[in-house]
């Protein structure tokens, strides 16, 4: 019997994919790891995944402050 799963293919660079794989350890939302730049994830988790990735990327971004 064939089982269909509703999901979303996420295309990203390899560094963001590593972040997604790390987040998957606590949430288990990856259905299939396709290749170096594509991951098939559960459709119900896509919005939370976007928020988590944005948060991690913002934490790791260097901002230059103007001198006062």
Residue 65 covered by a domain: no
Please report whether residue 64 resides in a domain: no
Per residue in 13-22, pLDDT tens?
999 999 999 9
| Span 11-68, pLDDT tens digits | 999 999 999 999 999 889 999 999 999 999 999 999 999 999 999 999 888 777 777 7
Establish if 2 belongs to a structural domain: no
pLDDT at 64: 78
Residue 29: which CATH number? 3.30.70.1220
Give the total number of structural domains in the chain: 1
Q: Examine residue 28 and state whether it is found in any structural domain, yes or no.
A: yes
Helix orientation angle between 14-27 and 46-59, rounded to the nearest 10 degrees: 120
67 occurs within a structural domain: no
Q: Which domain holds residue 42?
A: 8-59
């Amino acid at each position: 019997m064939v089982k269909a799963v509703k999901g979303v293919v996420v295309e990203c660079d390899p560094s963001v994919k590593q972040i997604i794989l790390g987040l998957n350890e606590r949430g288990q939302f990856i259905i299939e790891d396709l290749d170096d730049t594509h991951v098939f994830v559960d459709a119900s988790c896509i919005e939370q995944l976007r928020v988590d990735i944005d948060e991690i990327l913002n934490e790791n971004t260097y901002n230059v402050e103007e001198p006062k």
